[in-house]
Each structure stands twice: as structure tokens, then as C-alpha cells.
Structure 1
């Protein structure tokens, strides 16, 4: 293995470490709810604390993306992750829920640098291997959740100070690795949109906006299943919570692997958006099948639920790769920031809206309504525009 080969896989590993740290913090605070309540906080107060990192993330994603475009990911990752770690160290000694909430929001705002990155994949990996690399990077999200589940409750046995210290050390370790090792190569001519001048905005045409819209719509079924699968199994199917939890944990692992499979599929076919459309259609049909099984009280609802738990999350890496390639190196950071902001908005909105819908109409009608969103996403995905762009890129390569 040559030095460049070792370097690019090192870049991927560091990106995964940064994503794991960010995911462990942003989504793992839910595992500290019992510890927060033991310290005298109400359920409403703990709910606010758990939401604070996501609120912070949404406030700064686009700004971090613009910074990555200007100064590179080494500066952005090391600065953002380092700030997040230092803020969490300070949060261990603050008093009062309001001050702690501010610290968690600020840490989320700093950690958003991870979610606005991705240009390293664009630069270090060729097009025919880029989707798999991005899928590996995105699989670090579920890995962070698994790490949070395995560590935070045990560390919280003596209070919330140790979990916050653990999260701070994780951020600081990732920041150090980014500062020491991350290098951004010049993007090869084969990177998408290489013919665009650096100042040309990719948002002048509708293609990138359509990818953003389709990706955001696909978040709705994903978080419908993630949020309400346990409730469905326990309330509608009569499962024990522990048994249902173990089954869903296995589905989450398979969901992470499905992102790798989707990336491999994309690289082999040379398309990001055609597999994304197929996954969207499959998700919509699967939601309709789940709705029908739930309405009929059929036992087939359980395998349909598990199938969706794997398939609905598989397109994430494809959409991020498509956004980075469509935006080009000069705009990739900002485009990924916009992409993740839109997804986080719908991620935050889906649970309360679906909870109200399920409470009013039940699981089956709510699942049927959710099925419409991935089917609309399938229509929006600009597959034809991607084919044109790939053909033009191949023509430029032949002339070169």
C-alpha cells in the first residue's frame, strides 16, 4: 500500500472518529435522562437538555460549511471539535439548568463542524469508490449511538460529571487527530463540476435544490421508524420492552451496514441518484405494506417494520455524496451544511407531529400518510440531470 493510499484511508478513519464523537454527543444525551432526573430535574427539563445539542447544530451548520470551503477541513474540524470538548469540560462545573442548557447548545454549535464536512471524501477518493467511502463515514452515526448506549448509562451511575468528561475527551481526541493528520489534497479533474469556475454557484440550477428536498423528505420515514418502532411493538403487538429493544438494536446495526451496501452499489453502477430513487420507492411501498399490516392486525407488521428499519436509512451516504459532487470543491462545505440543516429541521419536527397523528388516528393511517413522502422524494430526485453531468464529465476526461 502506497503512501497516498495509506493517507486517504487515514483521512476516512479520522472523519469517522469525528462523526462518532459528534453523534455520541448529539444523540446520546437521551441516555442521561435518568441521571439528570436523579439530580432533581423534571422530565420537561431533561427533554430540553437533550434537545440543546441539535438546536446548536442547526444554528451553525451553514457557517461551518462556508468556513470549510474557505480554510479547509483541518482548521474547521480541529477548531470545532476542540471548542466542543472545552465547553463540555466547563459544563461539568456549572450550576443551574439554564446555564447547562446554554453550554450544551454551544457545544452542539461547535460540534456542527463535523456535519458540515465531507470535502475530504471528495478530494481523497475517486468517483468510483467515493460513495462507499461516504457510506463508511456516515455509518459512524449509528456507531456513535451504540457507543453512547454502551458507555453513558454506566458512567452516569455516579452523576452526570463523568459522562460529560467522557464526551469532552472524545471531542478533544478527535480534534487532536484532525489537527495532526488531516490534509486536504487538490481535487482531481474528475471531481464533479470541475468545469465550473470556483465562483459559480451550483444553486443557479435546480438540481442541487432537488437533491436537498428529496433527502429531507426521506428523513421523515427514517425517523418515523426510529422513533416509534419500540412503541409500536409494545403497544400494538404486545412485546416486552426489553425484547423489542434488543430486536431493534440488531436492526440498527443492519441499517448501518445497509449504508455501506448502498455505497458499494452506487460505486459499481456509477450513479448516486438512481439507487437513491430505488430506495425511496422501496421505502414508500414498505410504509404502505406496514400500514396495511398494522390496520389488519397482521403479524407481518413486524418483519415490515424491521425491513424499513434497514432500508429507510440506507440512502444517507448516497445523498451526501451526490451533494458534495454536485456542488464541487469550492461549494461542498456550504452545500453539505445546507443539506444537513434541512434534514435536522425535519428530524426535529417528525417525532412531535407523528406523535400527535398517532394519538389522533392510530398507527396504520399515520404510516400510510408517511408513505407519501418517500414516493414524492423519488419523483424529485434529478436522475436525468445526473446522467447528463456524468456523460459530460466523461467527455471532458476523454478530451484530456
Structure 2
């Protein structure tokens, strides 16, 4: 771990903060459009399925580009790739806002959002590599929990601002918000990101580099982590995408009130990720907390479905609880994958993780929208609870790739 001590503690945490902001751009660009679904549905005349499909377009771009970005990260490092990717993201997000402001068709807007999604595919993997590269094992869960705050904080920013701006100034003005966030993330990369040392990346014999073998061969650990994460992202996607519509359209909340509740929930979820990370550091286990989180996810989603079916006033509070639980596992899985595959493969390993999750989000968002339109929110919440129920038995035991890392639990 000597290389980790090459920089000061303050510098290490500054790099973490900048990587968090870089990752926040991905959430804002990819997930922000979901907070325009009520406006697109009620004001622009799109059906719920059409609006949901438009909201899924950036996710399609993200999914398509994440693995190529991961290969480039493994080859060229974090800072250089982040500069390129965030520049593309900013171009796409800005073009979407401009296209909407001149009343271009939603096909054109969707094309710009696709470009933004394609550019955003590097930020999550790069920031995960930065955490594993600059923090020792006993701090990585906590540090990754802080980095993983980017998702709920990005959702909170979008939820607090985009519905209100759309209601008062139209969707075009609201689409400018992800572009502004991306610009801030690009500045953070320029100012604060330093590539971590490639500790243990290869063994050198003279001038010959012996790379690590493919970590996917010979065991099922990574495949099971990916599968579990793909299942656990389904309730997260449901809650992040359709809760604004649930509150505003189904329950008559104002955009400002819905945005405030969602923002408070997302901030709480962000703090919950830090708690989950600290929990995993204390247990020196990433998988056991994930197994508990999956079981809690089943209970919380069924409770929300029942409360909504009974039209209980407790339903919004149960939604908040379910949302916090649904985001708690992400940082743990990310950390476990990066620790297991090592720096030679972390770009690709995290890219597979992200691609799998975003594939599920892109595929299920229109399906969930159609399900809600057909049977209503309560039954759709209950169906979503089946995903963490299926995930729990597949959570693997902890695995260690190097001495000093996690041991079998």
C-alpha cells in the first residue's frame, strides 16, 4: 500500500470529491429526463409509454458505450478519458436543451440525449478506479460509499429543479440543468483529478510485462455479483423514474412538493450509501451486507405496494424508505468488483457491471411504464419486489484476489 501514501490525506479526499462530481454528471444526464415525464405526459401530449421511452434514451447510449470506455480507461488512465468523455457529454446535453428550445422534434432531442448518454459512459468506472487506486482496503467501502453518493445526489438535484423549471419555463429550460452540472464536473476533472498509481498491475521481467489473467475465468463470483446487481437495480429504477409521476399525477402533489420529498429521500439515500460502505469496512465483507439489503428491499417494496393499494397516508414515507434501501448496495458491489479484478481489469469489470445495470434499466423502463398504465402503481410496486427476492439467493460469498484484501466470509 506504499503507493497510496504518495499524496497527502487532504489531496486524496479532494480527488474523491472531484470524482464524485464527475460521476454526478452521468446521473444528471442519464436520469434527469425522467423528471420531465409528468410535463411531457400532461403538457406535451406524449403518452406515458412514449415519455418513458424518451427518458430511457440516454441510458441506451450509456449502456452502449460503457464497455468501450472501460477498455480505454484500462489503457489510458482516468484523467485523460474523463476529459474526453465529459466533453462529449456536455455537447450532447447542451444540444438537447438547444433542440428543445427551438421546438425541434423529440426525435432530434432524443438523438442529442443519446450522444450525451454515449459520452457519460466513462465517469462511473473512472471514479470507481480512482477510489480503489487511492484508498487502502480498510477505507475503500466508506470512500466508495461517498463516491456512490453521486447517483442519489444527482437525482436529488434533478428532482428539486427540473419539474419546477419545466412547470414554469417548459422542458427546454429544464434540459439545460444537466448541461450545467456536466460543465461543473468537467471543471472538477481539470482542476482536481490525478490518476492513481498502477499498484500491482503487472510483474516485470526485464522489459516483459506479464498482465493478470482474465478474472472471469475459473469462478462464478463476478457473474453472480453482476446478476445480483442487475436484479437489485429494478426497484431502484422504478422508484427513481416513476415516483415523480406517482406523486404528481396519481396523488396530486405539486411539482415543488414532490421535488422536495424526492430530494430529501435522495440525500438520505446518499448518506445511507456511506453507512453501508462503513458497515462493509467494519465487517470486512461486501457481500453479507448486500444479502441483507436485498431482503430488506423485498419487504419495503411489498409494504409500499400494500400502503398504496390501501391509499394509506404512510405511502410516501414507505416510498422514501424503499428508495433508501434500493440504493444502498451499489457501492458495495462496485468495491467488491474493483478489488477482485485488480487495476489491469477494473475498467472492464466495472464497465460490465454498469452495462448490465443500465441494460436492465433501459429494457425495464418502458415495460414498467406500460405496466403502470395497465394495472396501476400498487400492483407494479408489488411486481417490482420480486426482483430483490430473486436476487438474494444468488449473492456470493466474499472472495479475495490478493493478500490483505477481503477474506472468504
Instruction: Normalising by structure 2, report the TM-score.
Output: 0.80
CA distance in 2, matches of 1:228, 1:103: 23
Partner in structure 2 of residue 194 of structure 1: none
Correspondence 1:43 to 2:46: yes
Matched, 1:128 2:138: yes
Per-residue CA deviation, residues 95-139 of structure 1 (Å, 9 max, x unaligned), is 632444322211220122213322111100111111111111111
| Contact in 1 for aligned 2:59/2:361 (Cα 8 Å) | no
Distance 2:385 2:36 in 1: 33
Q: 2:117 aligns with which of 75, 97, 108?
A: 108
Out of 308, 313, 316, which is 2:322 matched to? 308
Distance 1:272 1:176 in 2: 33
- Preserved contact between residue 123 and residue 188 of structure 1 (Cα < 8 Å): yes
Deviation at 1:203, TM superposition (A): 1.1
8 A contact 2:131–2:144 mirrored in 1: yes
Give the one of 201, 206, 216 matched to 1:203. Answer: 216
Q: Secondary structure at the match of 2:328?
A: coil
SS for the counterpart of 1:116 is helix
Is contact 1:128-1:267 (8 Å) kept? Answer: yes
Query: What are the equivalent positions in structure 2 for 1:1-400 lying under 5 Å apart?
Result: 3-31=7-35, 42-43=45-46, 49-89=54-94, 96-97=104-105, 98-117=107-126, 118-152=128-162, 167-188=178-199, 198-204=211-217, 205-229=219-243, 240-241=253-254, 246-293=260-307, 301=315, 303-361=317-375, 363-383=377-397, 386=398, 388-389=399-400, 393-394=403-404
For residue 20 of structure 1, report the CA deviation from its aligned partner: 1.9
Specify whether residues 308 and 163 from structure 1 end up closer, same or farther in structure 2 by C-alpha distance, changes over 3 A only. closer
**What is the CA RMSD across the aligned residues, in angstroms?**
3.6
Matched residue of 1:18: which SS? helix
SS at match of 2:291: helix
Matches of 2:145 and 2:78, distance apart in 1? 19
Structure 1: unaligned runs, 5 residues or longer = 192-196
Report the count of equivalent residues: 386
Distance 1:48 1:182, change over 3 A: same
Q: Is the CA contact 2:18–2:185 (under 8 Å) kept in the aligned structure 1?
A: yes
Tell me the CA shift for residue 184 of structure 1.
1.9
Shift of 1:53: 1.9
- Give SS of 2:216's match: helix
So what's the TM-score if we normalise by structure 1? 0.82
Change (3 A) 1:160 1:284: closer
Please give the alpha-carbon distance, in whole angstroms, between the structure 2 residues aligned to 1:304 and 1:160: 29
- Shifted more, 362-371 versus 178-187: the winner is 362-371
Q: Which runs of 5+ in 2 are unaligned?
A: 202-209
Q: 1:356 to 1:158 in 2, by over 3 A?
A: closer
* Distance in 1 separating the partners of 2:179 and 2:34: 17
3-state DSSP class of the match of 2:182?
helix
Partners in 2 of 1:350 and 1:21 — Cα distance? Answer: 22
The answer to whether the 8 A contact 2:159-2:260 is kept is: no
Which whole-Å CA distance do the structure 1 matches of 2:135 and 2:88 have between them?
Answer: 29
Q: Which residue of 1 aligns with 2:207?
A: none
Bigger CA drift: 18-27 or 41-50? 41-50
List per-residue Cα deviations over 1:324-343 (Å, max 9, x = no partner): 11221111111111111111
